[in-house]
Every structure is written in C-alpha cells, then in structure tokens.
Amino acid sequence: MNNQRRNVLKTGSGAALMTVLAAAGIIKPGMALADWNKAAFDAKSMADTLKALGATAPADSKDVQVAGPDIAENGAVVPVGVSTSLPNVTMVAILIEKNPNALAASFMLPEGTEPNVNTRVKMGQTSNVYALVKSDGKFFMATKEIKVTLGGCGG
Amino acid sequence: MAASPMKIRANNKDGVTEVKVLMSHEMETGQRKDSAGAIVPAWFITELSASNNGKVVLSSDFGPSVSKNPYLQFKFKGGAKGDKVTVTWKDNRGESRTDEATVA
C-alpha cells in the first residue's frame, strides 16, 4: 500500500491539488494567466471600455463577423461568436453596448490560434453587440443588434 | 465549494484542432438581489487559459456577463491526435480548476 499516494488522493481537491500538480511540474505557477484587465471590465460605456482596452477609434470592418441570433428569447444565454479573415489577429473581444459593463470577454490569441471564438453571454436588454479585433496592431470592429425578449440579468 | 469538472472536447480535422469547453460555474454578476433585497455578491470566472501539450493556445479574460456555466469554442492550427489539451480557469474568489482532454 502506497501511503503517500493515498494521502495525495485524500487531499487532492482545490488548492491542495493545485499545489500537488505544481509540485509535480504539471502546472507551472503563474502559467499563462494574464492579469485581469479590471479597468476594462469596470468601464460602463463603450467609449470607456475601448479606451481601457487601448483601442482608440477602431475602424469598422466588413472582414469582422459577429455571429448570433437576431432575436434572443432568453437573455441569460445568448450565443455569440466572433470571426474574422483579417491577418495576424492577436486579440478578440466581445462588447455589449447596453449591459451594465460593456465588456463581456476578451481573448488573447497566440500565433496559430484562429480568430474564431464562440461563447455565450448574458444580455440585460436589446442591444448592439460589438466584436473588437486587433489585427496587425490595429483595431477593427463590427456590430450586430440582438433583440432580447426576456432580460438575462435577473431583474 | 469544489467546482465540478469541465467538459472538454478537442477534435483535430485537417490540421486544425477545434476545442469546445463547458465549464460549471455560477457566474453571479453582483447586480442581482436576493428575496431579502440584499445584493448577491459577484462570483465569476475572470481568467481562462488553454494549452496544447504545454503550449498556450488561448488566454482569455471573462467579465460577469458571460453566461452561467460558460461555453467556449475556439480553433488552433496544429495539434495531433493524442495531444493533451489543458484548460485552467480562475475566479474572482481565487478558486481555480484545471481539466485535461485528449485530442481525438
């Protein structure tokens, strides 16, 4: 009976597991978890959010697509996707204009990862949804209005 | 509360690996009130990173307006059948979870 192994299994939850995994070299401390951009997520208006993301005056682009339903029956779960044919995309973000905080999520794409992400977001009310894309160091944007029949913020 | 495991699917087709992740998390916004009128404190995933055989393929920041039990789908070039795709998330309470899947 391997007692050490038993102990590992017994304590193998939450932080303890992380420590064990880190010790085993499976997860390196601080691996790839970038600093959360608090300013951008706290920003209320579109303009403030764009500023916090460092995106000043993004250009509208036909090469950026926002995927989503025209009408979302349930604002708590709205599938939204962003894709683009622009080259060298390093960042993609999803912004919802009329939510209490516009920024929903941002994605850092290392080389080799395709600028095509899909997720689900909450929407408080009918709003324009913006896709922000950083390509070759420049910012581009596209928008789509999604109508919400039932708000998703627990009102 | 220990979080439930993530469901991760990774499929390689024509040299591109598509990853689908379904996390289990409340994603409480901090804007909702309970029946007594007290604000339910915010509790949501803030950071997520995914790697393929140790190489980071996606790192992302989430706000509270990502849906409960978040879903995420993305694609990266490369990856091969048998590679390990690892996804780690961290929430605003400092809890985290890591799960792994094998590319099919």
Which residues of B are less than 8 Å from A31 in CB distance? 49, 51, 56, 88
Min Cα distance B68 → chain A (Å) is 8
pLDDT at A77 exceeding the cut of 70: yes
**Full DSSP string of B28-69:** B-S--B-TTSPBPPPB-EEEEEEEETTEEEEEEEE-TTBPSS
The kind and range of the H/E element at A152 are: none
The H or E element containing residue A39 is helix A38-42
pLDDT value for B56: 94
Query: Quick count: other Cβ atoms within 10 Å of Cβ A91?
Result: 18
**Could you report the per-residue pLDDT of A121-148, keeping only the tens digit for each?**
999 899 999 999 999 989 999 999 999 9
pLDDT in tens, A2-25: 565 555 445 444 444 444 444 444
Chain A contact set for B47 (CB, 8 A): 33-34, 36
Higher pLDDT among residues A126 and A56, named by residue: A126
> What was the pLDDT predicted at B1?
46
Cα A153 to the chain's mean position, in Å? 18
A137 close to B (CB below 8 A):
no
Helix, strand or coil, per DSSP, at residue A122: coil
- CB-based contact A14:B95 (threshold 8 Å): yes
Please tell me the predicted confidence (pLDDT) of residue A73.
87
pLDDT for A31 equals 40
Cβ A102 vs Cβ A46: under 8 Å? yes
Among A21, A79, A113, beta carbon nearest to B58: A113
| ipTM entry | 0.90
- The letter for the amino acid at B95 is E
pLDDT digits (tens, 9 = 90+) for B13-65: 999 999 999 999 999 998 888 888 898 999 999 999 999 999 999 999 999 99
pLDDT value, residue A28: 42
Q: Does A78 touch chain B (CB under 8 A)?
A: yes
pLDDT at residue B2, as a whole number: 56
Per residue in B69-90, pLDDT tens? 999 999 999 889 999 999 999 9
- What does the domain layout of chain B look like in residue ranges? 7-102
Domains in chain A (CATH in brackets) are: 1-33 (no CATH), 38-148 (2.60.40.2470)
Provide CB contacts within 8 A for A74, sequence distance 6+: A150, A152
A114–B70 C-beta distance less than 8 A:
no
Q: How far is A34 from chain B (nearest CA, A)?
A: 7
Tell me how many degrees the CA angle B57-B61-B63 measures, rounded to the nearest 5.
150
Confidence band of B4 (pLDDT split at 50, 70, 90): confident
- Euclidean distance between CA atoms A148 and A41, whole angstroms: 22
Q: Are B76 and A114 inside 8 Å of each other by CB?
A: yes
Superfamily covering domain B7-102: Immunoglobulins (2.60.40.10)
